[in-house]
Structure 1
Amino acid sequence: MNGLKIATIGGGSSYTPEIIEGFIKKKLEGTLPLKDLYLVDIEEGKEKLNIVGNLAKRMVEKAGADINIHLTLDRREALKDADFVTTQFRVGLLEARIRDERIPLKYDLIGQETTGAGGFAKAQRTIPVILDICKDMEELCPNAWLINFTNPSGIITETVLKHTKIKTIGLCNVPIGMIYMAAEMHNVSPERIYIEFAGLNHLVWGRKIFKDGVDVTKETLEVIKDGKFFTMKNIPNMEWGPELIEALGAMPCPYHRYYYLKDHMLKYCHEEAAGTGTRGEVVKKVESELFELYKNPNLSIKPPQLEKRGGAHYSEAAVNLIDSIYNDRKNIQIVNIRNNGTIADLPRDVAIECNCVIDKNGAHPINVGHMETSIRGLLQAVKAYEELTVEAGVTGDYNTALKALIIHPLVNDAIRAKKVLDDIIKENKAYLPQYK
């Protein structure tokens, strides 16, 4: 009756104008009666929260949207009686990301924010915090939906599903980005493309591609094979090679380059770190420029420079998901959810990424069955790593953590895994209470 209350954890993020733009659009359409939006951050993020929060207020005022923007460091105040909670935080800020990218490179391993050893480190820092947030939610807003965008999204979603009572759905902008890429290949609007997705977060395959309901998988793969390849802002545009696409018979996601073109990507990571800096270092500069823009009291829209940040379509994915739950839309979106037998080759209690029907009761996965043999092996190996990573993040058990790294395809070496793990624990001591 009084309108919705939404809390965004990590409200000082440079991505916040994205989600504000989405909320304004839904409010003006009359489809999402958002009344109070709480942007929450921690003491270290206070300055950024104030800068981006004031921009959010200007955006709302310019649009004439009746939304109250609250800026707070008090998470409990923000969570009390919230209807939805969105998470977009980074434990340890960008300095921690840069360490995640550089530590693996010391041992000639790919350093990346969300996968491999770097993604493992990020997960270990994030798991205690997401569990703490969920503990507060269980007390202050037990019926709220947690919409998780915090990376590694699949691992964090699985942690919440396995270890809390909170209703959660994980989100990523990769699938929606792939839909836009396919639409561009076929020179049509994204609404006319439907892709049958299955896999894990940052390891998802487009198994079938449809344009206006007609199967165009073969034609789409031919375009990719011909060298008209695609990627995202944070992943180099490295050509797949026709043999790989032919063998796969499916559309890979941009992150698959780390697995299928491992040596090339490792070389690129080394060169990047020695030259312009790791992606985290580049993002640090981009963010610095963005916040200078955000400070401008005359700025009252999302600046186009935000696209350099790599989070394209985040707002669209997050706001559409909230809208579909609230309005019981029964439409199809690609999210991270409990498997429950959807992919027959994986355990029932793990998180997967796939097409789901979204209604007032949440996300209902569309059955996938068995995955192709060409996909299944990598899928199962990475999922085993994710299961162990969740367990290590919750328990702080050193041997479980070591096993997780050893079996990850981007580490896959016991000696280097131990060295990387020891460095991760040493460099992240302040953020790993579970490893006491």
Structure 2
Amino acid sequence: MKLTILGGGGFRVPLVYGALLGDHAEGRVSRVTLYDTDADRLTAVARVLGEQARGVSDAPEVVATGDLDEALRGADFVFSAIRVGGLEGRAADERVALGLGVLGQETVGAGGIAYGLRTVPVAVALARRIARIAPDAWVINFTNPAGLVTEAMSRHLGDRVIGICDSPVGLGRRIARVLGADPARARIDYAGLNHLGWVRALHVDGRDELPRLLADPALLGSFEEGRLFGADWLRSLGAIPNEYLHYYYFNREAVRAYQEAERTRGAFLRDQQEGFYARMRDPAAPALATWDRTRAEREATYMAESRDAAGAGEREESDLESGGYEQVALALMRAVARDERASLILNVRNRGTLSVLDAEAVVEVPCLVDADGARPVAVDPLPYHAVGLVTAVKAVERAVLEAAESGSRSAAVRAFALHPLVDSVTVARRLVEGYLDVHPGLAYLDRP
């Protein structure tokens, strides 16, 4: 089975390859093709993968190429993990937004909209190319903003594109362990959009254990989301939010923390990864050890500004474990390729699952997966507080898709202005002007 990774020079690709190395069953991935437009990054990541494969007799073959059609031809699965504009683009997204006093985070608020406006046209072009060159391939999208990009690609690939994210998986795992349950046996009631969802129940042997967690302040304070949101707020909600909802519930604190930080997250990652790839240009550098050290620092500083704003302290050792999106991707490929029925939280077309959204809207919900793909399962209706956020953010996503398709600058302004974390139409217009100044790739927004 052939897997093609778009963005194959990306820093997190060794996580995916590491998961593949642990799969020895019949029908496993036997060839990985890395595609990237940056030859130096491709070479660096291929070196890391080469060291990972040492001593593994059936390690998947690795091929690196800068030819997209060659990479796609014959692919059974295509993993999309591109970053349009690179980390310099992310740092610029943060800088422009913070200069106007609003959040610039990569997937939430102004920064997420700017990233989406840059990324959707490229993702759509890729989707069309995949449909032509590899029409039978299944596409697994991890490109952020994951829900928005998956919806854009689904307009050309239908249900053969499935979005993944490690946030719901990590959240469910942490809750299960706090409750003394086996995460593999727990069934999580989770619903919303990507980076905008809530755990409303966690069933173990048919019993919902979440009320026990919400009633115990000590248990709530023993895991990351409990410390991030606070026990009182979680009990008030009656649910455990995805960590990214901290940007909505504690927006002023988050913006202030970003403004006061020595560097934004994007600037930190840009500098860190530039250092990694520079070191990898030395043929004598130990590739895997260098990558491991860099990854450990990256994971330890994840959402550091939000944890500082909440007084949540350092990340726990259990929060630094692997088993995130790469394991979701592997489980998804196994279920489809081997017809092994699995239950996973994925980004798929709604099909009536959340009644407040139309059938084509991509949502993040539990799905049953087999050889026919992923099908969302029925979930309880969202509470009104969640309905408000979910419908508002979906309206923003639709405005981004309209702007990307038509080149309409007014649709781009509307996307910013409608977002719950942008508090003024005037600010929205200034955001569009600011992003046009720093991102040449947005020059397509040249219509009224």
TM-score relative to the length of structure 2: 0.88
Could you tell me how far apart the structure 2 residues matched to 1:324 and 1:162 are?
Answer: 23
Correspondence 1:18 to 2:4? no
Summarize deviations over 1:184-226 as a string: whole Å, max 9, x none.
Answer: 3224442133211100000011111123442111122245786
Work out the number of aligned pairs and report it: 422
Correspondence 1:54 to 2:47? yes
Could you tell me how far apart the structure 1 residues matched to 2:159 and 2:70 are?
Answer: 18
**What does residue range 398-409 of structure 1 map to in structure 2 within 5 Å?**
398-409=409-420
* 2:159–2:373 contact (8 Å) kept in structure 1: no
Letter in 1 for 2:257: Y
State the match for 1:40 in structure 2. Answer: 35
The 1:434–1:321 alpha-carbon spacing in structure 2 relative to 1, beyond 3 Å, is farther
Could you tell me how far apart the structure 2 residues matched to 1:102 and 1:74 are?
Answer: 34
Q: Secondary structure in 1 aligned to 2:229? A: coil
| 1:58 shift after superposition | 2.6
Correspondence 1:344 to 2:362? no
Q: Structure 1 unaligned segments of length 5 or more: list them.
A: none
Summarize deviations over 1:285-336 as a string: whole Å, max 9, x none.
Answer: 4324544479666555772652443495121111111111111112100000
Kindly, what percent of the aligned residue pairs are identical?
30
Could you tell me how far apart the structure 2 residues matched to 1:70 and 1:83 are?
Answer: 15
Correspondence 1:228 to 2:225? no
Correspondence 1:190 to 2:183? yes
Summarize deviations over 1:381-416 as a string: whole Å, max 9, x none.
Answer: 111111111221222211111111111011131010
Could you tell me how far apart the structure 2 residues matched to 1:293 and 1:212 are?
Answer: 49
Could you tell me how far apart the structure 2 residues matched to 1:196 and 1:135 are?
Answer: 34
Could you tell me how far apart the structure 2 residues matched to 1:280 and 1:230 are?
Answer: 25
Q: Secondary structure in 1 aligned to 2:365? A: strand
Correspondence 1:250 to 2:253? no
* 1:350–1:387 contact (8 Å) kept in structure 2: no
State the match for 1:281 in structure 2. Answer: 267
Q: Secondary structure in 1 aligned to 2:30? A: strand
Question: Which residue, 167, 173, 181 being the options, matches 1:180?
Answer: 173
The 1:227–1:221 alpha-carbon spacing in structure 2 relative to 1, beyond 3 Å, is closer
* 1:138–1:166 contact (8 Å) kept in structure 2: no
Could you tell me how far apart the structure 2 residues matched to 1:259 and 1:354 are?
Answer: 20
* 2:221–2:231 contact (8 Å) kept in structure 1: no
Question: Which residue, 398, 407, 410 being the options, matches 1:387?
Answer: 398
State the match for 1:421 in structure 2. Answer: 432
The farther-off stretch of 184-193 and 219-228 is: 219-228
| 1:374 shift after superposition | 2.8
Q: Secondary structure in 2 aligned to 1:37? A: strand
Could you tell me how far apart the structure 2 residues matched to 1:114 and 1:139 are?
Answer: 29
Could you tell me how far apart the structure 1 residues matched to 2:276 and 2:224 are?
Answer: 23
The 1:390–1:375 alpha-carbon spacing in structure 2 relative to 1, beyond 3 Å, is same
The 1:156–1:223 alpha-carbon spacing in structure 2 relative to 1, beyond 3 Å, is farther
Letter in 2 for 1:268: A
State the match for 1:361 in structure 2. Answer: 372
Letter in 2 for 1:260: Y
State the match for 1:7 in structure 2. Answer: 4
| 1:52 shift after superposition | 0.8
Correspondence 1:106 to 2:71? no
Q: Secondary structure in 1 aligned to 2:241? A: coil
| 1:271 shift after superposition | 1.0
Could you tell me how far apart the structure 2 residues matched to 1:191 and 1:391 are?
Answer: 40
Q: Secondary structure in 2 aligned to 1:332? A: strand
Letter in 2 for 1:105: L
Question: Which residue, 161, 173, 182 being the options, matches 1:168?
Answer: 161
The farther-off stretch of 369-378 and 258-267 is: 369-378
Letter in 2 for 1:12: G
Could you tell me how far apart the structure 2 residues matched to 1:223 and 1:46 are?
Answer: 53
Letter in 1 for 2:355: A
| 1:20 shift after superposition | 0.3
* 1:247–1:374 contact (8 Å) kept in structure 2: no
Could you tell me how far apart the structure 2 residues matched to 1:191 and 1:324 are?
Answer: 15
Letter in 2 for 1:119: G
The 1:377–1:167 alpha-carbon spacing in structure 2 relative to 1, beyond 3 Å, is same
Could you tell me how far apart the structure 2 residues matched to 1:379 and 1:8 are?
Answer: 30
State the match for 2:305 in structure 1. Answer: none
